[in-house]
Amino acid sequence: MNKKIVFLLAGIGLIFGGCSLAPQYMQPRAPIPDNWPQGEAYNSTLEPGEEMVPELGWQDFFAEPQLRQIINIALDSNRDLRLAALNVERARALYNIQRSELFPSVNASGAGGKQRLSADLVGSGDSRTREQYNIDLGIVAWEVDFFGHLRGLKDQALEAYLATEEARRGAEIALIAETARVYLTLAADRENLQLARSTLESRQSSYGLVRKLFDVGVATDLDLQRARIPVETARGDVARFTQLVAQDRNALDLLAGSPVPEELLPTDLESISPLRDVSPGLPSEALLGRPDIVAAEHRLKGAYAFIGAARAAFFPRIALTTAIGTASDELSGLFGSGTGTWSFTPQIVMPIFDARTWAAYRVSRADREIALNRYEKTIQTAFREVADALAVQGTIDRQITAQQSLVDAVTETYRLSEQRYTKGVDSYLGVLDAQRLEFAARQGLVSLRLARLANQVRMYAVLGGGADAQAELRKPEDKL
C-alpha cells in the first residue's frame, strides 16, 4: 500500500512539476525610433564594401596582423576577462544548486547502540541490556513542486546565469575594442613623438640661423631670445610625448595580461592597415543582439519567473519523508527474515495568512518593473551610443580634409615667413606664429586620424561585436 502512495505522489509531481504561475513573457517593444537619426551630421547610405557587424568577425574587422596577435594574447591572459569567466562558472553552479531542489535527495543511514535499563523497568528473568541496530534508505522532506514554486526559483537562477554569460561576452567585446583603441593611441603618440622630434630639429636649425645673424650684427638680442622659445617648447613636447608613449605601452601590457613584444607594436598611424567599414543596419536588428541588452532581457525574464515563485507561495506545499530499511536487536540479524521496516510521512502546509508572503509578492512585481525600466534604458543608451558614433562617422572625413588643407596652408605660411625674415622684410614674430600654428595643425591632423580609427572601433563595439564572438556563446544552456 505504501509503495502505491509513493508512486501516486511521484506521478502527480511529474504531472504538475511543469506547472508555472509566472506571467507569460512577451518581449517589450524597443523604446527607440525605427531608424537612426538623419541630418547633415549623418551618413545614412551603405557604402560599397561595408558590412553588417553581426556578419563580420573581429579577425576580419581588424586587418592589422600585429593587432590581431595582441588581441589574441589579451583574450588568453587578461585578468578581467578571466574574472568574468569565473563569474559565469559561479552563476552556473548556483543555477545547478537551485535546479537540484526539484529532485529528491536520497540518503542512507545506519545506527546501532546498547542500553542498560533499571531492574524496575524489566520483567523478571528479562535481560536488562537492550541492543538495537538499523539501516535505512529514504527521502527527507522532499517538496513536491505542484504549483511551480521551486521551478520559478530555478528559472530565475537560469536567467541570472544567462545574463552573466552575456556579461562575459560583453567583457570580451569591450576588451577587444579597448585593446585596439590603446594600440591606435600608442601609434598616434609615437607619430606625435616623431613630429615633436623633427620639429625640435627644425627649430634648432632656425635658432642656429638666428644665432649666426646675431653674431654678425644683423639680428637683435630680442630675435635670438624669441628663436629660443620654440626650441624649448619643442623640447618639452618631446618629453611629454615620450611619457605618453611609455604610459600607452603600460596600458597595452595591462590589457594583454603580459608584456607585448616590441615587434608587435606600431610605429605610427600610417603603417596600420585600414579597418573594415561597417554598417549599423536597422536599430532593432543592430541593438537587440548587444550583450548588455540581452543580459538585461534575461534579468527581466528572471523577474517574471520570480513572480511565479511568489504566487506559488499562496498555495499549499506538500513535503514527503519516506524510508525503507531493516532493524534488529542483533547486528548479525539485520537482514534476516521479518526485520524489514518502512515509514511514510507526507506533510501538507496550507497558508492561511502570512504578511511576508504578500510582501514578497509585491516585491516580485516591483522587481519586474525595475527590470523592465533597466531593459528599456539599456536599449536607449545603446541607441545613443550608436547615434553618436554615426555622427562622428558622418563628419570626421570632412574634418580631416579641412585639417589637411590647414596643414598645407600653415606650412606654406611658415616657409614664406622664414624667407621674409631672412631677407629682413619682417620681424621674427611672424616666424614664431607660423611655427606654432604649423605644429598645432599637424598635431590636430594626427588627432583627427586617430579619432576616425577609434570611432570605427567604437562603432564595431557598440553594435555588439561580430559573428565569432556571438557564435561561441549562442547556446550557453548546452554547458549546463
The DSSP H or E segment spanning 116 is strand 106-116
Name the residue among 143, 145, 252, 110 with its Cα closest to residue 189.
Answer: 252
Residue at 270 is within a domain: yes
Within a domain: residue 110? no
The set of cell numbers assigned to 237 is: 613636447
Task: With both helix axes pointing from N to C terminus, report the angle between 149-215 and 428-462 in degrees, rounded to the nearest 10.
Answer: 160
* Number of domains, the chain: 1
- CATH number at 25 reads 1.20.1600.10
Q: Nearest Cα to 99, choosing from 149, 157, 165?
A: 157
Residue 16 is predicted with a pLDDT of: 47
DSSP one-letter string for 276-338? PPEE---HHHHHTTSHHHHHHHHHHHHHHHHHHHHHHTTS-EEEEEEEEEEEESSGGGTTSTT
Question: Is residue 115 included in any domain, yes or no?
Answer: no
Residue 92 is assigned to a structural domain of this protein: yes
Report d(CA 214, CA 211) in Å as an integer.
5
**Digitized pLDDT (tens) for each residue of the chain, 480 residues in all:** 445 544 554 555 544 455 678 899 999 998 999 888 888 888 755 555 555 665 678 888 998 999 999 999 999 999 999 999 999 999 999 999 888 888 888 888 888 888 877 776 676 767 777 778 788 888 888 888 888 888 898 999 999 999 999 999 999 999 999 999 999 999 999 999 999 999 999 888 888 888 888 888 878 888 888 888 889 999 999 999 999 999 999 999 999 999 999 999 999 998 899 888 787 877 877 788 899 999 999 999 999 999 999 998 888 888 888 888 888 777 777 777 777 888 888 888 888 888 888 999 999 999 999 999 999 999 999 999 999 999 999 999 999 999 999 999 999 998 888 888 777 777 778 888 888 888 899 999 999 999 999 999 999 999 888 655 444 544 555 566
In a domain, 210, yes or no: yes
Domain contains 312: yes
Residue 139 lies in a domain: no
- Fill in the amino acid letter for 67: L
Name the one residue in this structure whose C-alpha cell is 536607449.
380
Cβ-contact 170, 292 below 8 angstroms: yes
Task: Give counts: helices (H), strands (E), the chain.
Answer: 11, 6
- Residue 228, all three cell numbers: 629660443
Is 370 part of a structural domain of the chain? yes
Question: Which domain covers residue 288, as residue numbers?
Answer: 19-105+145-326+359-479
End-to-end CA distance of the chain: 38
- Which of 444, 441, 464, 454 shows the shortest CA–CA distance to 393? 454
Residues 400-417: tens digit of each pLDDT: 999 999 999 999 998 888
Coil, helix or strand at residue 374: helix
